[in-house]
Amino acid sequence: MPFTYEYPRPALTVDCVVFGFDEGDLKVLLIERDLKPFAGRWALPGGFVNLDETIDTAARRELAEETGLTEIYLEQLYTFGTVDRDPRERVVSVAYYALVKLEDHRPRAATDARKAAWFNVDDIPSLAFDHAEILDTALRRLKGKVRYEPIGFELLPEKFPLSQLQHLYEVCLEEPLDKRNFRKKILGMGLLTETDEVQQDVAHRAARLYRFDSRRYQQLKKRGFSFWL
């Protein structure tokens, strides 16, 4: 026990809420705890912050270690620091939320030693610690932010039909959208480029696939454009 301090210190951790979107449902990646407090319960991926890394780095490292995810959209959410949130001792946790293209990270359940699985956001098991509260905060943030920043595209594959995008927005905003108005608005922004591909293996007329042009978004943003839906 070589590390001594003049005053007591809380432990510092990170926790990540990883969102994915698949078959019309918003999903969250959880891992099953194998260690003692709440062993066997599902929890958000996360862990302790090392002294030689920033908090952001810690979040990315823990995500890579526990879920294999790298190079994904990651943003700080909120810091949770109530006194009794961990039964062992005082632990303060900086929460992050991440958006991943679920296509690229399909089943992956038993890849690592840890058991990881995707859960539908409105069918979440009882979680360890205050992770239910963290997840709730993340969901509210996602639902708020999706309106004024084009983060929805982080959840879709590179090429996607407009109907899938619309569906994603309907889930996030919790309201149905009119197809024609949606297409008019989203295409009117000039942020989507039409590809020459269409859906494959669908039992009906195949839809054209589009791609999000983030280069163009950066340009427009500089000129005062703001995304809005």
Partner DNA sequence: CACTCTTGGTGTAGACTGGACACCATGTCA
Partner DNA sequence: TGACATGGTGTCCAGTCTACACCAAGAGTG
Output the smallest distance, CB 63 to a second copy, in A. 16
Angle, CA of 29, 30 and 34, to the nearest 5°:
150
Q: Count the neighbouring beta carbons within 10 Å of the beta carbon of residue 19.
A: 24
221 belongs to the binding site for a second copy (CB under 8 A): no
Q: Nearest approach, Cβ of 187 to DNA (angstroms)?
A: 8
Site string for DNA, 122-161 (x = CB under 7 A): ---------------------------------------x
Q: Find which of DNA, a second copy, none residue 49 binds, CB within 5 to 8 Å per kind.
A: a second copy
Verify binding: residue 222, DNA, rule CB under 7 A: no
Query: 70 or 226, CB closer to DNA?
Result: 226
Shortest gap between Cβ of 214 and a second copy (angstroms)?
A: 21
How many amino acids of this chain bind a second copy (CB under 8 A)?
29
Are 180 and 186 spatial neighbours (Cβ–Cβ below 8 Å)? no
Task: By CB under 8 A, tell whether 7 contacts a second copy.
Answer: yes
- Helix 131-145 with 162-173: angle, nearest 10 deg: 120
223 binds DNA (CB under 7 A): no
Residue from the set 23, 35, 40, 52 that interacts with a second copy by CB under 8 A: 52
Backbone angle region of 38, left / alpha / beta, with phi > 0 → left and psi within -120 to 50 → alpha: left
Is 76 one of the binding residues for a second copy (CB under 8 A)?
Answer: yes
Pairing of strands 159-161, 208-212: antiparallel
Q: Which helix (H) or strand (E) holds 54?
A: none
CB half-sphere exposure, 16, CA atoms < 13 A:
33
